[in-house]
Amino acid sequence: MYARPTTLDEAIVLLANEPAQVLSGGTDFYPALGDCPVRGPVVDVSRLKELRGVTTEADRIRIGGLTTWSDIIRVPLPQCFNALKAAAREVGSVQIQNRGTVAGNLCNASPAADGVPPLLALDAEVELVSKAATRRMPLAEFIVGNRKTQRRADELLTAVLVPRVIEDAASTFLKLGARRYLVISISMVAAVVLVGHAGRVADARVAVGSCSAVARRLRALEGELIGVAVREGLARRVRQEHLRPLSPIEDVRATAEYRRDASLTLVQRALNSCVGAS
Ligand SMILES: Cc1cc2nc3c(=O)[nH]c(=O)nc-3n(C[C@H](O)[C@H](O)[C@H](O)COP(=O)(O)OP(=O)(O)OC[C@H]3O[C@@H](n4cnc5c(N)ncnc54)[C@H](O)[C@@H]3O)c2cc1C
């Protein structure tokens, strides 16, 4: 079966009737096949226009699952989304950004998915819809391992929801690869920093990707940054022990030790960049 529904209702009925693979932009789906043809039923969701685009609601920003990386780059968003926009510009090439979707990036659940750290730093939730129910969960709980998520076979990831609590915060995304362009990262960091009264940090979020099976927030560091005067410099507060939630692997791209070392520097640079220090 190959179906290309045009409404969400139609799509979830198809998924309820028969277990099928979901196909969106296809930029992860097709490379994962290698030399094999597509096997088994496919529900191609790429015509579900209702799932594409960004809308601002009273207390959150809703990013439709079919929103592409090019859409994210183009659409006006509050300052705290600058890290997500920067990550969007790093997803493959412009052609990949035109096809690749936010939902595809999250559901594929690669440890190196560029969309994950910025959305983790924004405390994003995902919305999952099936014929039976709609449920929401924090992105931090949705991705549970390398290529593993809590999505049930009959569910579609319909939206990413970002609470509108730190819209004025500065944010940065830094990605380190073996070359500058079209590269899988060795480490990447998203930071969001809100500076409050008297130039002190009111909120800080730091997420690191490519250094554990699932991108991780550095909660101990975030806690220590609260109340710190920006003029004292945030980078010098970062210590190797703050990276304990990470468990970098050794692979063709880098050693575990290099990943740890590089991540420390990236976190320092990202925090400095958020507060305009060099
Ligand atoms: C040359 C190249 C370079 C790339 N570079 C990068 C990079 O630098 N950084 C990066 O992060 N990624 C990169 N990617 C990976 C890819 O482009 C992104 O992850 C993209 O966002 C995937 O979106 P998609 O719509 O193409 O997903 P698809 O390939 O269509 O689907 C991916 C997975 O998600 C599932 N899925 C898709 N949509 C939904 C949905 N709405 N609900 C439920 N399940 C769904 C599919 O079943 C599949 O398992 C690259 C890919 C290529 C080919």
- In angstroms, rounded to a whole number, what is the distance separating the alpha carbons of residues 231 and 201? 10
Residue nearest to atom 41 of ligand 1 (CA): 157
Residue ranges around ligand 1 (CB below 6 Å)? 21-29, 31, 45, 65, 90-92, 96, 99-101, 103-105, 107-108, 113-115, 151, 156-157
Q: How far is the CA of 167 from the centre of ligand 1 (A)?
A: 27
pLDDT band at 163 (very low <50, low <70, confident <90, very high): very high
Q: Label residue 67 exposed, middle or buried (CB < 10 Å: 0-12, 13-18, 19+).
A: buried
Q: How far is the CA of 106 from the centre of ligand 1 (A)?
A: 8
pLDDT single digits (tens) 9-40: 999 999 999 999 999 999 999 999 999 999 99
- Rounded to the nearest 5 degrees, what angle is found at the Cα of 67, between the Cα atoms of 61 and 84? 60
Quick one: average pLDDT of 249-277?
Answer: 93
User: For position 182, what pLDDT does the model report?
Assistant: 85
> Pairing relation of β-strands 148-149 and 201-209?
unpaired
Q: Using the predicted structure, report yes or no on whether residue 278 has a pLDDT greater than 70.
A: no
Question: Both tokens of residue 1?
Answer: 């079966």
Which residue of 89, 93, 108 sits with most ligand 1 atoms within 8 Å of its CB, as the best mutation to test the pocket? 108
Q: Return the closest-CA partner of residue 260 out of 238, 244, 237, 275.
A: 244
Residue nearest to atom 27 of ligand 1 (CA): 104
Q: Using the predicted structure, report yes or no on whether residue 221 has a pLDDT greater than 90.
A: yes
Q: How far is the CA of 152 from the centre of ligand 1 (A)?
A: 18
pLDDT band at 250 (very low <50, low <70, confident <90, very high): confident
pLDDT single digits (tens) 187-212: 999 999 999 989 999 999 999 999 99
User: For position 251, what pLDDT does the model report?
Assistant: 84
- In angstroms, rounded to a whole number, what is the distance separating the alpha carbons of residues 134 and 12? 11
Question: What residues form DSSP beta bridges with 62?
Answer: 55, 161
Which residue of 28, 154, 173 sits with most ligand 1 atoms within 8 Å of its CB, as the best mutation to test the pocket? 28
User: For position 252, what pLDDT does the model report?
Assistant: 84
User: For position 110, what pLDDT does the model report?
Assistant: 97
Give the pTM. 0.97
Quick one: average pLDDT of 114-134?
Answer: 98
